[in-house]
């Protein structure tokens, strides 16, 4: 009892301190040189087509693959100095592969239909998060000690996309060890938001979200253990899908999740045009796609919608921005008016403990008692385990190669492990929450929930709101499929969005609802366009 009063006071004190620091940081930043411009808008027509459409036109000889690849290379060269998203390219190899595609089509040995079936993305460019292996590209996950690690093979999902004919252009930035929601590390620096370079791109698949939104890539590969696909997709105003756990193979990424963490890690598609989500997911998943019903028609009128506007007041997490709440209300209104459905407002009380549940589950041992690899070990990358407090001292003296969030994560992990008794309770709570969602959503329910409490914050601000990723992370623990869907721009021209959540193996529900919303809410917006 005494302890809980103490704990509560400590949390309140920390909250007050972090608010004060945020205000001071904003003040200090407003004196420095400010650059709040977006990137120049994409105007070239080939940059404004979905992957599906590019593939169709290439197959039908309406456009040349070489021209598409060349157009994207030029766009990356134009925008990358501003946003720092692509960290290694393979442009020469991509152009060579594009010529081969054009030759294959010119020979005319295969009819259009069979090309569509066997290589649905023939000739379409894509990018890959640096932590996911692309043969010949660095595979460091932003760890300075892995600076010279070059992937020798492709990750499973990259293999699948290449088999479908897609052409990789390069790899993009992420946060150190993929464990933070600002993409900034001591190897590649900081990636900047294409709508306003003063803002973050999110993480850990932040370079992907950024280069796709800046029209430097059509589509990309991300991975998500606490929101790493959905947060960058949200901050950059594009689509991202975290599939049902176990649907898409995770092989070939660093860190490769082991133990229970492997249950939370999901690899998935990110893209600008909603029509690419389902075809990409089909290609990336491989044979396991038969576990879901992506081709099943969905009648929105028959979907049961549930909406929750905030987590119920967790002391660790910021309040949801009023513009995001307004966007969510506009969405529920649209669904009700357009489809005659009744969106039910729900309060799921355990969502308030999302952050605690996620951290307890991340450190929980396997059912066989084995622990999964800790971040301490991963950060050392086969070297000596790092000692977080000592690392923090070194950091302050400017001697540590690690980022503050990564060191903070190791400390949080140690604290979470020490709290064994409350972890048992939290794990139980997680099971109960899972049942609650299963019963609520069934095979016809979609749950609307904010993607994040804040619209793309300024650089460094996440350090003072470290647990805001709880809004996405809870669905990794629950293993549910979630589509992040853009909902237009804020008054400051920054992306708004929402998470559409369905029950296990009902990915088709949230994906099809997202398709219905693209037209009404405008989908991706060209940054910098009037």
Residues in touch with ligand NAG (CB under 6 A): 84, 87, 133, 139, 149, 151-153, 188-189, 246, 249, 251-252, 254, 256, 286-288, 425, 428, 432
Say which DSSP state 168 is in. Answer: E
Cβ count within 10 A of residue 295? 9
Chain centroid to Cα 416, Å, comes to 24
How far is the C-alpha of 213 from the C-alpha of 305, rounded, in Å? Answer: 28
Residue 275 is classified by DSSP as G
Angle made by CA atoms 35, 36, 40, in degrees to the nearest 5: 100
Q: How far is the CB of 110 from ligand NAG (least distance, A)?
A: 26
The yes-or-no answer on residue 204 being catalytic is yes
Q: Which is nearer to ligand NAG, 139 or 403 (CB)?
A: 139
Cβ proximity to ligand NAG, 41 vs 259, nearer residue: 259
Question: Residue number with the shortest CB distance to ligand NAG?
Answer: 189
Q: Which of 50, 64, 129, 175 is catalytic?
A: 129
Please list the residues that pair with 345 across neighbouring strands: 307
Nearer to ligand NAG, 151 or 335 (CB): 151
Spatial separation of the C-alpha atoms in residues 83 and 184, rounded to whole Å: 12
CB-wise, 51 or 138, nearer to ligand NAG?
138
What is the smallest separation between the CB atom of 456 and ligand NAG, expressed in angstroms? 19
In this complex, which beta carbon is closest to ligand NAG, that of residue 252 or of residue 486? 252
Nearest-5° Cα angle at 50, 126 to 513: 110
The CB-of-432 to ligand NAG minimum distance in angstroms stands at: 5
Nearer to ligand NAG (CB atom), residue 188 or residue 375: 188
Nearer to ligand NAG, 132 or 212 (CB): 132
Catalytic residue among 204, 217, 307, 314: 204
CA distances from 433 to 357, 370, 436, 445 (A): 10, 24, 5, 16
- By DSSP bridging, strand 219-224 and strand 266-271 are antiparallel
- The pair of three-digit structure tokens given for residue 406, joined into one six-digit string: 């990564």
Could you identify the residue written with the tokens 């605690």? 356
CB of 214 to ligand NAG, least distance (A): 15
Q: Report the C-alpha gap between 364 and 379 in whole angstroms.
A: 19
Beta bridge partners of residue 89, listed in sequence order = 170
Least distance to ligand NAG from the beta carbon of 133, Å?
A: 4
Nearest Cα to Cα of residue 513 among 348, 343, 385, 378: 343
User: Which stretch of DSSP H or E encloses residue 220?
Assistant: strand 219-224
Going by C-alpha positions, the residue among 476, 473, 498, 474 that lies closest to residue 486 is 498
For ligand NAG, the closer of residues 16 and 189 by Cβ is 189
Residue 39 near residue 194, CB atoms below 8 Å: yes
Q: Are residues 182 and 234 in contact, defined by beta-carbon separation less than 8 angstroms?
A: no
Instruction: In angstroms, give the least distance from the CB of 206 to ligand NAG.
Output: 13
276: tokens are 């690419």
Q: How far is the CB of 188 from ligand NAG (least distance, A)?
A: 4
- Helix, strand or coil for residue 270? strand
Of the listed 140, 228, 318, 364, which one is catalytic?
228
163 is catalytic: no
Q: How far is the CB of 525 from ligand NAG (least distance, A)?
A: 26
- The C-alpha atoms of residue 291 and residue 301 are separated, in whole angstroms, by 25
| Residues β-bridged to residue 484 | 240, 499
Q: Which is nearer to ligand NAG, 206 or 523 (CB)?
A: 206
E-strand spans in 77-161?
86-89, 125-129
**Closest separation between CB of residue 21 and ligand NAG, Å?**
25
Report the alpha-carbon distance of residue 271 to residue 51 in Å, rounded: 9
Q: Where are the alpha helices (DSSP H) in 364-419?
A: 375-380, 388-396, 404-418
Q: Is 184 exposed, middle or buried (0-12, 13-18, 19+ CB in 10 A)?
A: buried
- Catalytic positions are 129, 204, 228
């Amino acid at each position: 009892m005494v302890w809980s009063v103490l704990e509560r006071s400590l949390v309140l004190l920390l909250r007050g301190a972090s608010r004060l620091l945020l205000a001071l940081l904003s003040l200090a930043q407003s004196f420095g040189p400010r650059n709040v411009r977006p990137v120049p808008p994409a105007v070239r027509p080939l940059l404004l087509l979905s992957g599906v459409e590019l593939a169709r036109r290439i197959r039908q000889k309406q456009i040349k693959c070489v021209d598409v690849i060349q157009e994207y290379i030029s766009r990356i060269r134009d925008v990358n100095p501003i946003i720092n998203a692509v960290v290694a390219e393979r442009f020469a190899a991509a152009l060579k592969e594009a010529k081969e595609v054009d030759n294959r089509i010119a020979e005319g040995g295969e009819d259009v239909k069979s090309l569509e079936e066997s290589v649905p993305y023939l000739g379409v460019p894509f990018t890959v998060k640096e932590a996911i292996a692309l043969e010949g590209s660095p595979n460091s996950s932003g760890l300075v000690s892995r600076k010279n690690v070059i992937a020798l093979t492709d990750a499973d999902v990259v293999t699948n996309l290449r088999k479908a004919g897609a052409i990789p252009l390069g790899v993009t930035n992420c946060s150190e060890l993929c464990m933070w929601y600002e993409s900034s590390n001591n190897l590649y620096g900081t990636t900047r938001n294409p709508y306003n370079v003063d803002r973050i791109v999110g993480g850990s698949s932040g370079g992907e979200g950024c280069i796709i939104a800046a029209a430097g890539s059509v589509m990309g590969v991300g991975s998500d253990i606490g929101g790493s696909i959905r947060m960058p997709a949200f901050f950059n105003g594009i689509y991202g899908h975290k599939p049902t756990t176990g649907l898409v193979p995770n092989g070939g990424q660093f860190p490769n999740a082991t133990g229970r963490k492997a249950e939370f890690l999901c690899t998935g598609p990110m893209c600008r045009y909603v029509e690419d989500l389902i075809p990409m997911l089909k290609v990336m998943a491989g044979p396991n796609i038969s576990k879901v019903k992506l081709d099943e028609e969905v009648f929105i009128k028959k979907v049961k919608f549930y909406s929750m506007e905030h987590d119920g007041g967790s002391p660790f997490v910021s309040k949801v921005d009023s513009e995001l709440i307004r966007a969510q209300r506009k969405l529920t209104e649209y669904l009700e008016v357009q489809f005659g459905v009744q969106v039910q407002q729900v309060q799921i009380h355990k969502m308030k403990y999302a952050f605690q549940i996620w951290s307890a589950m991340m450190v929980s041992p396997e059912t066989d008692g084995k622990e999964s690899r800790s971040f301490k070990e991963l950060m050392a990358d086969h070297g000596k385990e790092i000692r977080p407090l000592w690392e923090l001292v070194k950091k302050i003296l400017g001697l540590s190669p690690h980022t503050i969030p990564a060191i903070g994560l190791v400390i949080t992990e140690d604290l979470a492990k020490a709290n064994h008794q409350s972890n048992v309770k939290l794990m139980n709570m997680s099971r109960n929450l899972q049942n609650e969602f299963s019963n609520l959503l069934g095979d016809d329910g979609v749950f609307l929930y904010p993607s994040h409490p804040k619209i793309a914050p300024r650089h460094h601000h996440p350090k003072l709101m470290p647990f805001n990723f709880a809004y996405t992370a809870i669905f990794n623990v629950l293993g549910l499929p979630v589509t992040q869907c853009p909902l237009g721009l804020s008054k400051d021209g920054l992306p708004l969005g929402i998470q559409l959540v369905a029950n296990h193996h009902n990915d088709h529900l949230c994906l099809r609802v997202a398709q219905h919303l693209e037209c009404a809410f405008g989908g991706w917006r060209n940054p910098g366009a009037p």
